[in-house]
Structure 1
């Protein structure tokens, strides 16, 4: 993946243009790596690199210096291996039964989060594969994946019996995005106690929020995700450089008289003679429906001709409507593009209006856009 530009659908056939900034992605990685030093900075590229595209994003992160990557699924690991033959790749969601040969063939390291998975990987290594490295996931308070602390203690006692090397001990922070949340310090203390049982094994606790937080959370390796892609990871830290710019095609301009409704459900009524622009994208393209506007609540906005223009009415599957009354008539016309992400509008702005998080907005951006990477 050494190309300068990667495109998907022809621009003239799509409702929007999604521009992905490889330079910003590399700069964000460099900033996080500097923050984490002397710990190694890995890159989390699960969820199709948070919606940006696994292969081109990973190639640029490798060029920026990342050597260790985390995915969620073996199929993501297979895709990643095809473009990064020398990378260290961990599969966060564990060891899928029957997929052991895939981990072997693709040189993937499972993140083992249960006694059953550990026994199965050990048996696979003993039976045919040889000593293949894996990570051990210990739960310190998330109550999701991971060994219970008592199981981790038992594993440490019989570590010499394992048929594979433990390459990494990791856990996952539950509340690091909320400064001063007491659970974070409790998890840190519990993780330190577990790490002490595995001398000589590298340890990893910090996600994006942890990387941007207390250096005590960094240990030997940090695993940033959302911060790499320009999303806000902590309430007290501004987002890094935006990586995504989304521009939506203006299909039509029309006038709406005062008192007339706009869109499905007549959710919003024009309070004045209103000029609206109809944009060719909707919730099928990843624009969250709850970010629409109504008479009771203000929705998201886009930028047109340097002016912030609020949505008017609901977001539908393929279209949104925007109030452009305050934009001079000679500065907006059908065929122009409105900026939905970029120019000061980020994924977290859309998320706030949709009562969700920037992660969901970013990973939901659809496949109907013309996509282009530039560096």
Structure 2
């Protein structure tokens, strides 16, 4: 079993499934392309320390994060490979990045100047990647204005800065509009061709998970997989990953409900006849989306049971009338695999009117992550 009988709710996480998904990415892009697993947001909500332990034997080029603090945590865990910060860095944080040997991505000239100042103050060198905005708009130097900012790089980049790469981010790789990928890749290539030539500026990259799976021809020198590694479908028409995470909770109360009985805030479910209700020790305070009320399901003893009523902060009620052998202490799986049945993260996300990323990263600290391949449910 993956946890003890005292646990109210938890997430089972399979390290071998994570490794298998990375191998799928590697097979898609080929052995010569570097892999930068994204481990931001606590490894998409599943635990960065354990994810690092599973990914490190796979020999990635480095790791991708979104914040300096995440990079520092990786260093504390023991990561010695390059750590690329794939979001703009606050000016005051460049000092910490340089001290810990992190690689910032730079989205504007002011940021590059701040990085250079930090290097000079510390008497150290730092690597950086230049982010080019080819259409996503949220960060990066505008590809249309390269004639304005490109020549200024020569005045800023000195011996303290190691210009290691240039990259962009695909905004629609998860959809079927491959024309947008071609447009963004072309813009990136045209921009790089107009930049000053710098030794070491050899990395050109753009692909996230869907990009790496859909268009390996655009992999460039490196890909940055994220959601696919953690068991989330990366986009329309793409191969399904091996499921990585399973959200589970124990049944802590069983109740025989009479016809006309109601359940939950607002009494949104009324028993139409005799029903058997099971209260599971999990709620939106654990990250189970409230919108699953009267829509979602859980797996009990290999069978699906509907969620009834509104989900509370700490508990969720299911109708287990169709699972007559349900007992106290039984495990309910709200997403993931259990006894031959599976509820995907995408199914949960659809009911919750959101995306699979938000389901995983929305799991709260109250739910322990149990990294094991020895699951008995």
Q: Distance in 1 between matches of 2:203 and 2:233?
A: 27
Contact kept in structure 2, 1:44 and 1:69, CA below 8 Å:
yes
Residue 150 of structure 1, CA deviation: 4.2
Q: 1:257 to 1:134 in 2, by over 3 A?
A: same
Residue 182 of structure 1, CA deviation: 4.1
The DSSP-based 3-state class of the residue aligned with 2:57 is helix
Q: 1:123 to 1:155 in 2, by over 3 A?
A: farther
The DSSP-based 3-state class of the residue aligned with 2:92 is coil
The DSSP-based 3-state class of the residue aligned with 1:70 is strand
Alignment correspondent of 1:230: 231
Alignment correspondent of 2:218: 217
Q: Distance in 1 between matches of 2:71 and 2:223?
A: 19
Q: Distance in 1 between matches of 2:127 and 2:146?
A: 17
The DSSP-based 3-state class of the residue aligned with 1:165 is strand
Aligned residues: 361
Alignment correspondent of 1:314: 310
Contact kept in structure 1, 2:98 and 2:125, CA below 8 Å:
no
Q: 2:131 aligns with which of 132, 137, 149?
A: 137
The DSSP-based 3-state class of the residue aligned with 1:17 is strand
Residue 313 of structure 1, CA deviation: 1.1
Matched, 1:165 2:154: no
State the TM-score, normalizing by the size of structure 2.
0.90
Q: How does 1:115-126 map to 2 (within 5 A)?
A: 115-126=109-120
Contact kept in structure 1, 2:98 and 2:124, CA below 8 Å:
no
Contact kept in structure 2, 1:70 and 1:91, CA below 8 Å:
yes
Q: Distance in 1 between matches of 2:259 and 2:92?
A: 63
Residue 185 of structure 1, CA deviation: 2.8
Alignment correspondent of 1:204: 205
Decide which moves more: 253-262 or 234-243: 253-262
Q: 1:368 to 1:124 in 2, by over 3 A?
A: closer
The DSSP-based 3-state class of the residue aligned with 1:59 is helix
Decide which moves more: 180-189 or 353-362: 180-189
The DSSP-based 3-state class of the residue aligned with 1:227 is helix
Q: Deviations over 1:29-73 (max 9, x none)?
A: 111112122321110000000001111101211112213111111
Contact kept in structure 2, 1:311 and 1:320, CA below 8 Å:
yes
Residue 79 of structure 1, CA deviation: 0.6
Residue 183 of structure 1, CA deviation: 2.9
Contact kept in structure 1, 2:98 and 2:119, CA below 8 Å:
no
The DSSP-based 3-state class of the residue aligned with 1:67 is coil
Q: Distance in 1 between matches of 2:368 and 2:167?
A: 38
Contact kept in structure 1, 2:143 and 2:188, CA below 8 Å:
no
Matched, 1:349 2:343: no
Q: 2:57 aligns with which of 55, 63, 72?
A: 63
Q: Distance in 1 between matches of 2:38 and 2:26?
A: 13
Alignment correspondent of 1:296: none
Contact kept in structure 1, 2:98 and 2:118, CA below 8 Å:
no
The DSSP-based 3-state class of the residue aligned with 1:166 is strand
Decide which moves more: 236-245 or 349-358: 236-245
Q: 1:327 aligns with which of 320, 323, 329?
A: 323
Alignment correspondent of 1:190: 187
Residue 109 of structure 1, CA deviation: 0.8
Q: 1:130 to 1:106 in 2, by over 3 A?
A: closer
Q: Distance in 2 between matches of 1:243 and 1:18?
A: 10
Q: 1:29 to 1:83 in 2, by over 3 A?
A: same
State the TM-score, normalizing by the size of structure 1.
0.91
Contact kept in structure 2, 1:251 and 1:280, CA below 8 Å:
yes
Q: 2:92 aligns with which of 94, 98, 116?
A: 98
Contact kept in structure 2, 1:59 and 1:83, CA below 8 Å:
no
Q: 1:204 to 1:153 in 2, by over 3 A?
A: farther
Matched, 1:20 2:13: yes
Residue 142 of structure 1, CA deviation: 0.8
Residue 334 of structure 1, CA deviation: 0.9
Residue 349 of structure 1, CA deviation: 1.2
Alignment correspondent of 1:43: 37
Residue 332 of structure 1, CA deviation: 1.1
Q: Distance in 1 between matches of 2:17 and 2:242?
A: 6
Q: 1:59 to 1:156 in 2, by over 3 A?
A: farther
Q: 1:197 to 1:62 in 2, by over 3 A?
A: farther
Q: Deviations over 1:245-280 (max 9, x none)?
A: 222100111122233322111112223321111100
The DSSP-based 3-state class of the residue aligned with 1:133 is strand
